[in-house]
């Protein structure tokens, strides 16, 4: 299947909502060491926000072919700020839609048909050099918000597809990176079969409208984290449930947990992850003070991933 056939298949098949995307997970900071944590700078994340190159086509018949290839001549491309909506930077016009669909009155469609005459395409290009902190690790790219459907290439290689407009779309790109200059290409289509599910009362604005960044993960990484706190006003005791999942080399690894406030440590301990890299800990009878508007008491939970006693990741 060539590139054109692949694009049309993904856009028009309601059963295809993503290709090669990373499973949804919690969005939390993490650091490789206690020293890095104390500095507060997350070195394993690299922003790609800023000036990007762009070609804007009114419909799929005018789309810029082969723009994702490394040898493509980018001389005639325009520029755009990312993140930012296309229409607010001179590419297309804002459209307000209430109960009708944005293509009503222009094309007669029935679900799951996709508009052709008005399916504008924005072809984005961004060149980057990988930061030293991300090298020799698994590297991912995160699009925090893109409307509506995106196709992603790195150095001419197809990476994946997604049509989650208002939730992050992430892909692993480790195998496609090279030393020095890397070319990221993104095709953003205004409509796909998913557009039938976005019939809300709001302004229709498209493009890469939220942050784009690269991130790498340590050899063992807390990928998904859910923390739930509770307080019993009868016993005046608190409870904290920690539910997490690790990825990578998690065998025989431990998680140290530290609950503290401005006065010091409230409780701490450690537990081993199971054979699936998961951990669940319930801390009960915690002597804490409840939060209120009059007395906004706050506590910090910090997790340390331990490999033979050595800290290999810190999650605040």
- CB-CB contact of 195 with 17 (8 Å): no
> What pLDDT does 280 receive?
98
Mean pLDDT score of the chain = 96
Residue 103 CA to residue 109 CA, distance in Å, equals 8
- CATH class of domain segment(s) 3-33+41-217: mainly beta
Percentage of residues in the chain with pLDDT exceeding 70? Answer: 100
Domain ranges of the chain: 3-33+41-217, 220-315
Q: What is the pLDDT of residues 195-249, one digit of tens each?
A: 999 877 889 999 999 999 999 999 999 999 999 999 999 999 999 999 999 999 9
**How many Cβ atoms are within 10 Å of 55's Cβ, its own excluded?**
19
Quote the tokens at residue 73: 């001549």
Q: Is 34 helix (H, G, I), strand (E, B) or coil?
A: helix
Instruction: Point out which residues pair with 228 in neighbouring strands.
Output: 241
Q: Is 57 helix (H, G, I), strand (E, B) or coil?
A: strand
What is the helix (H) or strand (E) element at residue 12, kind and residue range? helix 3-12
Residue 313 CA to residue 303 CA, distance in Å, equals 8
- CB-CB contact of 133 with 114 (8 Å): no
- CB-CB contact of 56 with 188 (8 Å): no
**pLDDT higher at 1 or 5:** 5
> What pLDDT does 201 receive?
86
Determine the CATH number of domain 220-315: 2.60.40.10
Same fold, 3-33+41-217 and 220-315: no
Query: How far, rounded to the nearest angstrom, does the alpha carbon of residue 305 sit from its chain's CA centroid?
Result: 23
pLDDT at 288 over 90: yes
pTM of the model: 0.95
Q: Mean pLDDT throughout 161-172?
A: 96
Percentage of residues in the chain with pLDDT exceeding 90? Answer: 95
């Amino acid at each position: 299947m060539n590139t054109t056939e692949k694009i049309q298949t993904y856009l028009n098949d309601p059963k295809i909502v993503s290709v090669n995307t990373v499973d949804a997970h919690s969005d939390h900071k993490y650091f490789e060491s206690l020293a890095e944590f104390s500095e507060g700078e997350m070195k394993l994340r690299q922003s790609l926000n800023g000036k990007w190159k762009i070609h804007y086509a009114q419909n799929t018949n005018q789309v810029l072919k082969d723009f994702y290839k490394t040898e493509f001549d980018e001389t005639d491309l325009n520029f755009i700020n990312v993140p930012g909506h296309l229409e607010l930077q001179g590419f297309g016009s804002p459209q307000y839609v209430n109960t009708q669909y944005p293509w009503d009155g222009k094309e007669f469609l029935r679900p799951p048909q996709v508009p052709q005459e008005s399916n504008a395409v924005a072809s984005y290009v961004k060149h980057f050099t990988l930061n030293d902190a991300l090298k020799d690790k698994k590297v991912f790219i995160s699009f925090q918000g893109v409307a509506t459907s995106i196709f992603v290439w790195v150095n001419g290689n197809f990476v994946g597809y997604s049509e989650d407009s208002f939730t992050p779309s992430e892909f692993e790109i480790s195998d496609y990176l090279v030393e020095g200059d890397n070319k990221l290409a993104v095709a953003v289509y205004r409509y796909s079969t998913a557009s039938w599910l976005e019939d809300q009362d709001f302004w229709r604005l498209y493009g890469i409208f939220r942050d784009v960044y690269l991130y790498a993960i340590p050899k063992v990484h807390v990928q998904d984290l859910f923390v739930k706190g509770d307080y019993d006003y009868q016993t005046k005791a608190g409870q904290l449930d920690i539910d997490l999942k690790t990825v990578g080399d998690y065998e025989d690894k431990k998680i140290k947990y530290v609950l503290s406030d401005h006065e010091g440590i409230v409780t701490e301990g450690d537990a081993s992850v199971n054979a699936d890299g998961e951990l669940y800990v319930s801390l009960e009878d915690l002597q804490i003070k409840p939060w209120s508007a009059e007395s906004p008491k706050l506590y910090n939970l910090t997790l340390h991933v331990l490999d033979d006693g050595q800290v290999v990741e810190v999650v605040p």
